[in-house]
Amino acid sequence: MTCVFRRASSPPPTHTPSSLTTLLPSTPTHSMDPNHPSLPAQTSLVIDFVIVGAGLAGLACAVALRRVGHRVLVLEADPSLNVQNSGGCRMAPNLSKILYAWGLRDKLREITIKSQAIDLLLYETGEVLGTHYWDEEMIRETGGEFLFIHYGDLRNLLYDTAISHGAEVIFDARAACIDADNQTITLASGKVLRADVIVGADGASGVSRQLLEEDDAPVHRLNMYSTTVPKTVIMQDEELRYLYSHRHAAMYSWFGNSHAALGFPLGGTPDFALFVYGPADGHDASWDDKAPHDALEQILEPCEPRLRKLGRNAAPPVCVPIIEHPELEDWVDDSGRLVVIGEAAHPLPPGSIQECAMAVEDGAVLAKLFSHLRSEDQISHFLYAFQDLRQQRCARVLKKEINDIAFMTMPPGETQQCRDSVMRAKRDAGLDVLDAGSNMEETPEWAEIKEVFGYDAEDDADNWWMEWGVLRERAKGLELSCEVYGHVTVEEQGFPLSPKLASIIFSTLGTTQLSTRLVIEPGRCA
């Protein structure tokens, strides 16, 4: 049974970082070569992080925090990584660029396939509505690549990297209670751990989210089946061989009436990943549980013959629900010492293109902020800054992912007919399916994709530091005197702030009347 300590109104006790390690296991502090080309600047004040959960978000966060010099302990409830049922994963450029910056390009080359195209088909008939080729120049500008990988390979890579960087991961360590005010985690075994910062990365149903979540019920409309088919099986079948005939390692997307499917080749072990979306049918469970194979075949009943055959040859699937969770208003506990990341903060639909990317971006941003840590009083400021930086982006991405599923599973009608006819017209004109017409530079969909792909998580954190972090630190110095005015909006400076973070910054500067529209006028600082 899991218990949670709710937020208290009293402030947490003040401790020095050294006193906070008394209940923490001895975390390896491997010396990291400061001349390593992929290492960023190191923190001035080393503190202890306990991360609850060893999924992609938790492991990426562990890697990123160790890269800037903090001590990290990761707690995983399962007895092992358990990646057998993992299926496939699409790595968008905004994800691969982070791992490239962390020095993992060569390792990724060994376990991924680079994709440069997508084919769009009808679920019921198999008609090809069109093809889109990723613009090579645009992808190059993002700093990343579009890659296909086994989820298990990606998780293993992050785990190995975290360990090699000096993080400690403890398996079979289920968090039973989290007391954010006292910065402690009580394990199911009864052991108590304490840290300077607790990072909740234990998913949408984990104990960390329970500290912050309201009672609004989630919405469940669809299920997603995830499985793989061996490449050898596909290549032996004349009807299925076309899936590997595309010289650009294409992804295939089938659009249907309340149904859809995604398929793509995987690097590493030569498999073909298959995601199938359909109405909730009572077979949903978790990523750790197998679903009946006949349930997959049943949901594929309305589809084209080749896709049905692909399903018949697939490995036993897992079936997970596609749930729309209420938006979490606060990602940071009132104690200022607990933050949630990944699925615990912003659950995305399983199988979505940005599901893995958002998790890794979270870790990259959090660690980049904490690379600037010089004093303990900055901890809560950095956590609220993380929330401000990530909340809006994740909300936009979530909305896009939900819209993408709705677009693929559109029921018959005028809108669906318009969708298909527009794609057919572009196909017949020899255009890429996401290309704009003659009267516009690009489609809104393509512009949105470029914005999402082009995002740089660590740059975003650096920009915040230069705009606001440095400002606050200077304001604390005796040599700097500033006049504070309430007539310039925060938005004009390019960084809209939450009331809580604005309060932190302006209280430091001695502002008497507080508003989210207050900002420092840099020209008046001497």
How many secondary structure helices (H) and strands (E) does the chain include? 16, 20
Per-residue confidence (pLDDT) for residue 318, from 0 to 100: 93
Tell me if 207 sits within 8 A of 340, measured CB to CB.
no
CA distance 398 to 324: 9
The two beta strands, 260-265 and 184-187, are unpaired
Q: Tokens for 207, please give them.
A: 């104990």
Q: Which spans in 19-174 are helix H?
A: 56-67, 93-101, 105-111, 136-142, 151-164
pLDDT of residue 468: 86
pLDDT score of 516 = 39
Query: Which residues contact residue 15 at a Cβ distance below 8 angstroms, ignoring those fewer than 6 apart?
Result: 183
Distance, CA of 378 to CA of 60 (rounded, Å): 22
Contacts of 129 (CB under 8 A, 6+ apart): 120, 121, 122, 255, 420, 423, 424, 427, 433
Q: Where are the domains of the chain?
A: 44-84+151-216+330-399, 457-524
Which are the contacts of 146, defined by CB distance < 8 A and separation ≥ 6?
90, 91, 92, 93, 96, 114, 115, 116, 134, 139
Q: Are 334 and 155 in contact (CB under 8 A)?
A: no
**Which runs of E-coded beta strand occur in 175-301?**
175-179, 184-187, 192-194, 197-200, 219-230, 251-255, 260-265, 271-279
In contact, 387 and 504? CB cutoff 8 Å: no
Mean per-residue pLDDT over the chain, rounded: 84
Secondary structure letter of residue 291 according to DSSP: P
Exposure string of 222-232, with b = 16+ CB inside 10 Å and e = fewer, is bbbbbbbbebe
Give the per-residue pLDDT at 486: 39
> 308 φ, ψ to 5°?
-65, -40
Strand bridging mode 219-230 / 271-279: antiparallel
Could you give the CA distance from residue 296 to residue 314 in angstroms, rounded to a whole number? 9
Predicted local distance difference test score (pLDDT) of residue 420: 96
Residues of the chain with pLDDT under 70: 1-38, 83-85, 215, 284, 436-446, 476-526
Tens digits of residue pLDDT in 137-194: 888 889 999 999 999 999 999 999 999 999 999 999 999 999 999 999 999 999 999 9
CATH of domain 44-84+151-216+330-399: 3.50.50.60
Segments of 97-214 assigned E as strands: 113-114, 117-122, 128-133, 147-150, 168-170, 175-179, 184-187, 192-194, 197-200
- Enter the tokens of residue 126: 């198999």
H-type helices in 328-441, by residue range?
A: 355-370, 379-408, 414-428
Whether the predicted model's global pTM rises above the 0.75 cut: yes
- Could you say which DSSP state residue 465 is in? I
